[in-house]
Structure 1
């Protein structure tokens, strides 16, 4: 009897630490209301269905990352993105992000270049990794490295492909940036990129199972390592 009670308590604790249908319901409602008074009235629901599962996810993912010797670090205090938006420098004055997200880096500091990112979002959840909108000086270094040694860059792309990944083409210039002669046609598109990252969508069924979500995050991070090693080497 005691053993059954212990197992039941453990199951309840695990469920409380997992994302669920209530997570998505809360985020959809938050997106609809976008109201600070509403958020305060429903803060307990946010803590239970969004923040607590994200804390558990950061802990679980980083623990497995360490065991797998994948260089992504972070803790819930710094890795979890704030639900409150910074509206000081944008025309969009909605006060809340209608998604939950976490970010890991090789130093554990958010400002470090090269990031692993997880977003839980009713409009589409995903994991991503790479160098998103790097500073102009770093972007120039990456472009120059690609142009100087195309074979190394192409080998990195091939390694990504073996893991089922490819650089996302969304963030790119319409024309070749100034200062670059006509490059090898195989790297023409890469020279125009403004970000260097890979992305994989996540199904809701995977998100609500903590073990499956952790495995998906760590597996994706391992597959993204050719890109991370390339970027870290260039920006060292």
Structure 2
């Protein structure tokens, strides 16, 4: 059971940020395993069970990220990441093209939410077509998002909108090439106790209707065939 991260968790992440080399990591690997990786696994297990109970037929899995960087993508950086995260997602090779619940801890803070980081262009076309057919459903979801303060909509936008939104309220969805519903925080006290579990569960419960809406896009007709 997750009981919270520790000061050693944070010290390790700062340490690997400034000592990103194999010798340092190997000397501190036990701290990584016990103070970062294992607590993250325990937290992920609890959050996954929560989502699975809410959506038992969703087929989601939970993955803890690797601390090792892909050797093909170092680009002058060290071989290790200075952060760790979990993703609750579909078991797809191109998982970044599917909506994903996540939780991440870094040396500076923590974040969680629902990410759709690399949806395919046809998926976003399906989203716009669905909103055109039924703007009311997304308007309701967007108003709910705008009324709360836990999550913000973060988008990577097209240089030019692909089409005209039915209303100003829905314009951000028409401009988005990718997006996430994200909460970011500093190293608050709740991160070092079980309080963060309850907060993230409450947040995930709020996000579930958004997940349902986006996860169903794959089954929509391809608007290019219309």
The 1:119–1:231 alpha-carbon spacing in structure 2 relative to 1, beyond 3 Å, is same
Aligned with 1:85 (options 69, 76, 95): 69
Residues 1:188 and 2:171 are matched in the alignment: yes
Mapping 1:32-181, distance limit 5 Å:
32-69=18-55, 73-75=60-62, 79-89=63-73, 91-105=75-89, 107=90, 111-112=94-95, 113-164=98-149, 168-177=153-162, 180-181=163-164
Shift of 1:144: 2.8
What whole-Å deviation, never above 9, does each CA across 1:7-60 have from its counterpart, x for those lacking one?
A: xxxxxxx78x63111101100110111111211121111111111111111122
Quote the residue 1:205 is aligned against.
189
The 1:166–1:215 alpha-carbon spacing in structure 2 relative to 1, beyond 3 Å, is closer
Greater per-residue strand proportion: 2
Q: Counterparts of 1:66 and 1:58 in 2: how far apart (Å)?
A: 12
The 1:23–1:110 alpha-carbon spacing in structure 2 relative to 1, beyond 3 Å, is farther
Q: Counterparts of 2:181 and 2:59 in 1: how far apart (Å)?
A: 16
Quote the residue 1:217 is aligned against.
200
Give the SS at the match of 1:175. Answer: coil
User: TM-score scaled to structure 2, two decimals?
Assistant: 0.82
**Greater mean alpha carbon deviation, residues 59-68 or residues 122-131:** 59-68
**Greater mean alpha carbon deviation, residues 95-104 or residues 158-167:** 158-167
Task: Report if the CA contact (8 A) 1:163-1:223 is conserved.
Answer: no
Give the SS at the match of 1:82. Answer: coil
Give the unaligned 5+ runs of structure 1: 1-13
Q: Counterparts of 1:156 and 1:27 in 2: how far apart (Å)?
A: 37
Shift of 1:68: 4.3
Q: Counterparts of 1:157 and 1:41 in 2: how far apart (Å)?
A: 48
Task: Report if the CA contact (8 A) 1:58-1:74 is conserved.
Answer: no
What RMSD over aligned residues (CA atoms) do the two structures have, in Å?
2.6
Task: Report if the CA contact (8 A) 1:165-1:224 is conserved.
Answer: no
What whole-Å deviation, never above 9, does each CA across 1:68-125 have from its counterpart, x for those lacking one?
A: 44758434xxx100001114146343311111100002x4557441110000112221
Q: Counterparts of 1:110 and 1:102 in 2: how far apart (Å)?
A: 16
Quote the residue 1:19 is aligned against.
5
Task: Report if the CA contact (8 A) 2:165-2:174 is conserved.
Answer: no
Larger Rg: 1
- What is the total number of aligned residue pairs between the two structures? 215
Give the unaligned 5+ runs of structure 2: 220-226
